[in-house]
Each structure stands twice: as C-alpha cells, then as structure tokens.
Chain A
Amino acid sequence: MSAIIEVRGVTKDYPLGQLTVRALHGVELCVDRGEFTTIAGPSGSGKTTLLNLIGCVDVPTGGSVVFDGAVTSSLSDRELTRLRLEKLGFIFQSFNLVQVLSVFQNVELPLLLQGGIDVAERKRRVESILDRVGLSRFLRHRPNELSGGQRQRVAIARALVTKPRLVLADEPTANLDSVTGNSILELMKELNQQDGTTFIFSTHDHRVMELASRIVRVQDGRVVEDGRGDKSPVAAAAAAY
C-alpha cells in the first residue's frame, strides 16, 4: 500500500507573546491508503496540531508534510484550499454545520464548491450518502432540529460526499453520548471497509481506539508509540490508556 500522508521530521512553533512554544518536535508519521488510524494523547499533547498539519489547514514550521505526493508547505493558500476540497473530508468535534442550510444543502455544499457537477448528479450523490448514514428522512431539516448524533452523521455525509482520499476526524465522539458515539464509529468503520477511504482520528476515547487498526500515541509533541498491524498491540494500547 502506498502512503497517502507522510510526515517527515515536522516541527510546529506557535508564538505566545514574547515566547515561542514548540507544539511538535520532529514528528515522523506515515499513513497508508485505507488505514483507520487514531492519534491518541491527552489534551495539549499536540495531536490536534498534528491533525491540522495532516489536514492541510496549517503548514509546518520545520520538516515537511507530503499529502498524496504534494509537499503542503510549497502550496499556495489557493492550492491548499483546492486540495482540501477535492481530497480531504473533515469531521469536527462540534459538527460545524452551516446552521442556515438544510441537511441536504449542508451535504451538497462541498459539491457546489467543487463546481462542474450538474443538479441531478449532486442530488443523486447527496441522497445516496444521506441514505447510507441513515438520514434520508431528514433532508429538509435544519441542523438545530436534529440530535447530536444526527448532526454528526450529517457532518460525516458532508465529509464523504466528495469521495475524498482521506477523512480527518477531530474527536468525533467527544460531544456525543456513548451509544451514539459507538454508532457513529461503527458507521465510519463500515465506510472505511466498504470504500477503502482512509480515516485518521484524534481522540482520547477508548472506544475509538478499540476500533482503530493503528494507534499513534502523541505526548509532549512527540510520537511516543505507533502500534500498527495486528489487533493486539492496539487493544493493549487501548487498555493501557
């Protein structure tokens, strides 16, 4: 399997008044296509920073991030945006749906931004993905008329409707109860297995880790553990966490 993302010796500094805070210290990470990877770590460990760099919403201070063959720090803002639109899907901790748009419109939004897709095709793809996440009865609803789980399903549908290479999820279950969280995870896992879409999560939730095929543990801005391959180390890591 070829790598979708390669993180090579990445550092990331943030200015904090007169000081500079280093959030990542020479991180190395390689994620292959079709992986269902979780980045685990306590708050402030740097996992969100790492996710931002992988998600091309930020560029590293040192080292490089190569996404699908492109070095992100060499791309312009416009190119990065285009890359996110076409190859990436985002699932946010607090769903981040556009409140004034209906479920259908929220999911249709990335397709509209991409442009060049006719109405019928957009309708087919939006309805199909909403059907898969079990929301075909809620097309006309507004986000505030839905439960937290339903909203996250809308967000998943929005992330997947463009058929991205990689889906990034930042603590996707943090704002959900355990039952709902589980069903969301099951859904993502299912989509991963059926379509081969690569998923990377940040989380400190055991259930997420249990489902992951690989756990990358981050602490104080460094990768301290990278459990890949068979299920046992992952499970062990999850148990240890």
Chain B
Amino acid sequence: MLANVRLLVHLGLQSLRAHKTKSLIVGGLMTFGAFLVVVSLALLDSVERATRASIVQSISGDVQLYDAKAKDKLALFGGFGFGTEDLGEIPSYAKIRDAVTGLDNVVGVVPYGIANAGVSSPGDLDRALNALRDAVRAGDMPAAGPLAERVRGIAAVLQAQQEKQASVSQTVTADVKAVLERATSDALWAEFEASPLPVLDWLDTKLAPLGEQGNTFYLRLAGTDLQAFNKTFSRIKIVEGELVPPDTRGVLVGKSFIDRRLKMAVAMNLDTVRTERARGATIAGTKTLQETIGKAVRASPRIVYLLAPRDVAVVAKVIAAEVGQPESTALTVLLREFIGELDDANFDRRYGIFYEVIAPRIQLYPFRVGDTITMTAFTKSGYLRSVNVKVWGIYTIDGLETSDIAGALSLCDLVTFRELYGQRTASLDAELVKMKAASGAAAVERDTAEDALFGGDATVEVKTVEQAAAEPVLEKVDRQADFRFEQGKVNEGMVLSTAVLLKDPSRLRETITELRRVVEPLGLQAATWQEATGVVGQITLVIRGVLLTAIFILFLVTTVILNNSLVMATLERVAEFGTLRAIGAQRGFVNAMVVFETAVLGVLAGVVGSVAAVACVLWLGQVGIPAPADLLQVLFGGPRLYPTVHVDNVVAGLLATLTVSVFATLYPARLATRVQPVVAMQGKE
C-alpha cells in the first residue's frame, strides 16, 4: 500500500517534470490562488480582530441583548436614518445582568439606552450678553467691565461687516446702521456705567438680533452605568475632565466628534491641513488643502469676536510681527493675511502660533468641560423633552484618537437617557397631574365632547389665574444637572440593550447560543457585535463576503482551466494509461494516478503560495497598512493596520488549492479510467 502511494507520488512528480510548461502555468495559477487566499484571509481576520478591538472593547461588547419584539435592528452607531429606532425595552436591567453574569466566558455586562439629542448653543454675541447680564445681576462690576468690552468689540466687528456689505448692496437699512453706531459709541457705554439694566435691555432687543445665530448640534447618546462602563471597556480614556462620579448625572463627549464637528472653524480647518500634511500632502500641490485654507480665512473674523478686547492687542502684536505689518493694522486684516498666506514653509510655525497665542484666548468649542448643556430630544411618544446635563469630560478610544466614528457616541448616565427617551416615571406622572390641576383642564370624552363643550348645561367659566400666586408647577428637580440618584436602584429599571463582553471572543458562537438559552425566556434576543453596530460592524461581513466571492470565482476559473489542461494531458497519455491497464493496473489505480499528480501540484503550489503569503503578511505586519479614511481607522483599529497571519489561514489556503486540484481532476481522471487496455496494442510509444 505504502509502496503504491510512493509509486503514485513518484509518477506524479515525474509526470509534472515531464510536462514543465503545463505544470508551471497551472501551478502558477494555483500558487497565486493559495497566496490570495492566505493573504486575504489573514487581512480579513486581522481587520476583524482590529475592528473588534476598536468597537467591541470600547462600546459594543461582543454581544448585545435587546427586546425580542424590537421593531428595528439595534444599530449602536446609528442606522441609515437619524430617527430614534424602536428597540423595544428591557424592563429591568438588573434582572438580565444577574442572569447573564454567572455564565462562563462572560467578563462584563453593561446597560445601554440610545437616544439622539439636540443641543443648542448660543451665538457669540448672545453668549457675551448673557454673561454680562449675569454679572450685572450679581452686582459683579469688575467682571462686567471686560464683558462689556467684549460686547462692544463684537458690535465693532459687526459694524465693519455691515459697512463692507453696504458698499456692495443696499440691503443694510439705516436702522441697522444706527443701532451699530450707537452700540459702538462711547456715549452708550458711559450710560451703561451709570445704569446698566436699561442699556442691557436695549442691547438684548436691538443689537442681539444682528448677531450670528447660535447653532444646534446633535449628540448620539448612549446612556449607561458609567462606572460599570469604565471598568468593562478598557480602551476608553478620559483626556480632559473626569469620569462622571457615581450616582451623578453627566455626559462624556467623544474628542474626535467635537474636534471634527464642533470645533471653531479656523482651528478645525487648520487641523485638517496639518493632518493632511502629515500624510504627505503639500499645500502647494493639493487643491483641497488650498480650499480648506480658504474656509479658515472666511471664518477668521470670528476670532476677533471671541477674543476679549484686551487680548486683541496681544494677538495683533504677535500676528503683525509674523506677517510683517504694522501693529496698528486691524486684527481682521492681519488674520486674513496670517491664514490666507499659509504655505508649506510657514505652516508649522503659524500653526504653532495659532495654538500658543490665539487658541488659549478663545473658546474653541461650543461648551467647555464643566459647562452644563441643555439637551433636547423627541421622546418615544413624540414630545420634546429637555434635560440639563453637565459635561464632565472628553474621552477618546485608545488607538482611535482621530477617528470620527469611534467618538461618535456621547456617553451619559441612565437617568438622563430615560428622561430624553421619555420613560414615564412616578414623578413625571405626578408632574402631569399637577399641570392638569393648575390649568383647570378636564378630560373630555370624544363621544360627549360636543355636549361637554357646547351643550345646554355648559357654563363658560372665566378663571383668572394670578401669575404671581401660581405655585411653581414644573417639578424641576430631576431635570437638573445636579440631580443625584442611586445607581443600584437605577439599574433595576428600564434600558434598551445590554452589552456583554466575553473572556474568549473565539467562543462567540457557542456563548451566544448559551446566552440565547438564558435570555430568550426573558423576552430578549441576542445579536453579535457585528449585527449590533449597524453599518460599521457589518462592513467587515460585507468585505468578507465580497472577498470570498472573488476568491471563489478565481478558483472556479482556475478549476475550469486546470480541468481543460488536464483533459488535454489525459488524451495525450491514452497509450500510457492503456499500457498500465493492459499489464494489470485496475481503474482505481489509473484514477488515483491522475488525481495524485494534480494533488501533488496542488500541494506544491499551496505550500509555495502560502509561504509567499506568510512572508507578505509578516512584512505588512512590520510596516503596517495606512488607513486613509476614517471608516478604515475603525476597521483597522487605529491609523495603521498591522496584520498577523495564523495557522488557520495557511490551512485554508492549502485546503483551497487541494480542493481545486482534486475537483479539477474528477473529469479527466474519469476519462483516464475509461481508456481500454486494448488501446495499448494499437499505441505508438
């Protein structure tokens, strides 16, 4: 038997040698196939591991549990629309946590509730006026002085803009002109010194409408038990501020999100130029960078708004020196030149100046860490609901500091989430009752509405509600930023989903089966992280699908080519097969001979291709593959992917080539076994 196998291998090898050209072409094709399989599987696995590391270990966990009756699929990073998905509810998180925590392979359980909230931020003028009013009301005149200067400064910038506008169009009315003239006049500010409140009223009603609109931005909020979250997800790092303390309401915002979406336009555009230059682009050679600089130039007057008047001189001095203009030049003009004339030679220096001299003196983001922001959301039932929440800190995900997607979720406590989600609570119900009582409204049934409202016995009652006497109806306490709660009790309540982090992610399939067994009786379903993270998670599945299809097609083509060439070779060797049959070789032997020959080629090609592929992946693992786009950063788990190759990949490559070679020989081998021994008698050598 062994001798026969040796004979077959020998026959195979010798035959391959005898048909060098054919062997080289077919072998080359299969080598390429094996190479492709091993490299692409290694890359795919590496990407999946990296994506897993960036998503699973920072936000999603390996498995997400949510209501089995959910109408929408869970998509942590958002689905295709911006609406709040209907994910059903998990009535008690603690119950699920306790059921799941005991399971083997589960290391962390974290509750989630996803809500989208809008945050409006006032314009620069509004902000300055608000601060000024607060200072005046508090009687803090030393603080009011600089704030008044800032308002006056902004009015001056507006005036300059209006003058320029007036020179090209006639839309600027005399009224506007008069308001701006007065706002910048010494007379007004002398009046302010004497009696600030009437002047403030005038500023609020006349000047404020001329200022820029504030902007509204949206946060995709993940409400969670922030302490448990921080313990479970090792890749989350607080880069500014601190983690929200236990039992406290608060929000953590993603750094890349505020940097890319909310940062002051000049800074954001300069950052973009810097990033692109670090990637090798030049300002001179890249049109988009020149356009980015153009955007920064157009946004530059805002710097003047944002600077306190006494800082204007400091900044003007430095900028004037840099651009070689007299210090007396208007700061808007200096900034226009400072940014507008950026080139590859001066960029790094000017970028440094911006961040050392200008940035510390202006507010770069709509809010600062420590600020309380008002978040407004449409609740599940369609009402608007607002909550005041303090921004405790800014976080990044380790390795994904610059990724947009990675920081897209803002994190908040569960109580805030439930408010915004519109969960009915006892206190809210009590509030509703009070509101109803205070308004004197009565419930009217539809069937009897006409009678009740206009019927004979209806009386029109005019009730005067004394404004001053009305007690404060809105129970504000639990919407305020300083509201405190007990996390333990909160965890008893409703969440939308639960993240489960596993000890050994390679056992995902088996653990998810176990999880399903436990949570299905509780009315929940279990989704893998890929299913639960929407487009982001599924992209690896899509890439895998596309690549595997491509490989399948390649192998199909290889099989056809190989099959053809083997059929030709078989026909050429009819005499040989006939002879073997005549001298006593069974059909099985001839069959094995043909299959072995190609199998030998398949194994050789597989080995050569795999070795080349391993070398290639090891090399890529050294140098890394850069991620040019944001999504790729998430997929690569950072700015570069350092792929690794595993034994499974090589085994898959070898199996693939072997399978192809065996498949391709099925028909030729059948042909060979059909050769009759009598052929040998007619054959020429």
Residues of chain B within 8 A (CB-CB) of A93 are 681
Residues of chain A within 8 A (CB-CB) of B18 are 99-100
Residue of A nearest to B7 (CB): A112
Cβ contacts A29-60/B at 8 Å (1 or 0 each): 00000000000000000001001100101100
Cβ contacts A140-174/B at 8 Å (1 or 0 each): 00000000000000000011000000000010000
Residues of chain B within 8 A (CB-CB) of A159 are 583
Residue of A nearest to B1 (CB): A115
Residues of chain B within 8 A (CB-CB) of A109 are 7, 580, 583
Bound together, the chains give a CA A81 to CA B11 distance in angstroms of 21
Q: Are A113 and B681 in contact (CB under 8 A)?
A: no
In B1-31, the 8 Å CB interface with A consists of 1, 3-4, 7, 10-11, 14-15, 17-18
Q: Are A114 and B680 in contact (CB under 8 A)?
A: no
Q: Are A82 and B680 in contact (CB under 8 A)?
A: no
Bound together, the chains give a CA A127 to CA B232 distance in angstroms of 76
- A114/B584 contact (C-beta < 8 A), A94-B684, A94-B685, A96-B683 known: yes
Residues of chain A within 8 A (CB-CB) of B1 are 115
Q: Are B584 and A84 in contact (CB under 8 A)?
A: yes
Q: Are A95 and B3 in contact (CB under 8 A)?
A: no
Q: Are B10 and A105 in contact (CB under 8 A)?
A: yes
Find A100's partner among B11, B575, B578, B684 (CB 8 Å cutoff): B11
Cβ contacts A111-144/B at 8 Å (1 or 0 each): 0111100010000000000000000000000000
- A95/B4 contact (C-beta < 8 A), A57-B678, A101-B14, A113-B589 known: no
Q: Are B683 and A94 in contact (CB under 8 A)?
A: yes
Residues of chain B within 8 A (CB-CB) of A113 are 4, 583-586, 589
B235 contacts A by Cβ under 8 Å: no
Q: Are A98 and B584 in contact (CB under 8 A)?
A: no
Residue of B nearest to A117 (CB): B3
Bound together, the chains give a CA A115 to CA B14 distance in angstroms of 22
Number of chain A residues whose Cβ lies closer than 8 Å to a Cβ of chain B: 37
A90 contacts B by Cβ under 8 Å: yes
Residues of chain B within 8 A (CB-CB) of A112 are 3-4, 7
For the A-B complex, the count of residue pairs with Cβ-Cβ distances under 8 Å equals 96
Find A97's partner among B14, B578, B587, B685 (CB 8 Å cutoff): B685
Cβ contacts A81-92/B at 8 Å (1 or 0 each): 110111011101
- A52/B584 contact (C-beta < 8 A), A57-B676, A119-B3 known: no
Bound together, the chains give a CA A204 to CA B676 distance in angstroms of 25
Find B582's partner among A57, A77, A82, A100 (CB 8 Å cutoff): A57
Residues of chain A within 8 A (CB-CB) of B681 are 48, 51-52, 55, 57, 92-93, 170
Nearest CB of chain B from residue A85's CB, rounded to whole Å: 2
Residues of chain A within 8 A (CB-CB) of B685 are 94-97
A110 contacts B by Cβ under 8 Å: yes
Nearest CB of chain B from residue A15's CB, rounded to whole Å: 14
Residues of chain B within 8 A (CB-CB) of A110 are 583-584
B390 contacts A by Cβ under 8 Å: no
Find A52's partner among B4, B7, B678 (CB 8 Å cutoff): B678
Q: Are B7 and A90 in contact (CB under 8 A)?
A: no
Q: Are A86 and B678 in contact (CB under 8 A)?
A: no
Bound together, the chains give a CA A159 to CA B583 distance in angstroms of 8
Residue of B nearest to A53 (CB): B678
Q: Are A85 and B14 in contact (CB under 8 A)?
A: no
Residues of chain A within 8 A (CB-CB) of B3 are 112, 115, 119
Bound together, the chains give a CA A97 to CA B589 distance in angstroms of 17
Q: Are A81 and B584 in contact (CB under 8 A)?
A: yes
Q: Interface size for chain B: under 10, 10 to 19, 20 to 34, or 35 or more residues?
A: 20 to 34
- A92/B680 contact (C-beta < 8 A), A98-B576, A115-B1 known: yes
Nearest CB of chain B from residue A232's CB, rounded to whole Å: 32
Q: Are B584 and A85 in contact (CB under 8 A)?
A: yes
B677 contacts A by Cβ under 8 Å: yes
Bound together, the chains give a CA A15 to CA B615 distance in angstroms of 60
Residues of chain A within 8 A (CB-CB) of B578 are 96
Q: Are B683 and A158 in contact (CB under 8 A)?
A: no
In A211-228, the 8 Å CB interface with B consists of none
Residues of chain A within 8 A (CB-CB) of B678 are 52, 57-58
Bound together, the chains give a CA A57 to CA B585 distance in angstroms of 12
Q: Are A57 and B677 in contact (CB under 8 A)?
A: yes
B579 contacts A by Cβ under 8 Å: yes
Q: Are B579 and A55 in contact (CB under 8 A)?
A: no
In B583-638, the 8 Å CB interface with A consists of 583-587, 589
Residue of B nearest to A175 (CB): B685
- A115/B4 contact (C-beta < 8 A), A55-B582, A81-B581 known: yes
Bound together, the chains give a CA A89 to CA B584 distance in angstroms of 9
Cβ contacts B648-685/A at 8 Å (1 or 0 each): 00000000000000000000000000001110111111
Bound together, the chains give a CA A114 to CA B1 distance in angstroms of 10
Residue of B nearest to A114 (CB): B584
Bound together, the chains give a CA A82 to CA B15 distance in angstroms of 26
Residues of chain B within 8 A (CB-CB) of A97 are 685
In A164-194, the 8 Å CB interface with B consists of 170
Q: Are A100 and B586 in contact (CB under 8 A)?
A: no
Find A85's partner among B579, B583, B680, B682 (CB 8 Å cutoff): B583
Residues of chain A within 8 A (CB-CB) of B575 are 96
Q: Are B680 and A96 in contact (CB under 8 A)?
A: yes
Bound together, the chains give a CA A95 to CA B585 distance in angstroms of 17
Cβ contacts B561-582/A at 8 Å (1 or 0 each): 0000000000000011011111
Bound together, the chains give a CA A61 to CA B533 distance in angstroms of 74
- A90/B680 contact (C-beta < 8 A), A95-B685, A100-B11, A112-B3 known: yes
Nearest CB of chain B from residue A200's CB, rounded to whole Å: 13
Q: Are A84 and B17 in contact (CB under 8 A)?
A: no
Nearest CB of chain B from residue A86's CB, rounded to whole Å: 7
- Pairs A–B under 8 Å by Cβ, sample size 16: A52-B678, A55-B582, A57-B678, A78-B587, A81-B584, A81-B585, A81-B586, A86-B584, A90-B680, A92-B680, A94-B684, A96-B576, A98-B576, A99-B18, A110-B583, A113-B583
A112-B3, A113-B583 given. 12 additional CB < 8 A pairs?
A57-B676, A57-B681, A78-B586, A78-B587, A92-B579, A98-B11, A98-B580, A100-B18, A101-B10, A101-B11, A113-B585, A115-B3
Please name the 9 residue pairs, one residue from A and one from B, whose CB atoms are nearest each other, closest first: A85-B584, A100-B14, A94-B685, A57-B677, A96-B579, A57-B678, A84-B584, A58-B678, A94-B684
Which of B's residues lie within 8 Å of A, judged by CB?
Answer: 1, 3-4, 7, 10-11, 14-15, 17-18, 575-576, 578-587, 589, 676-678, 680-685
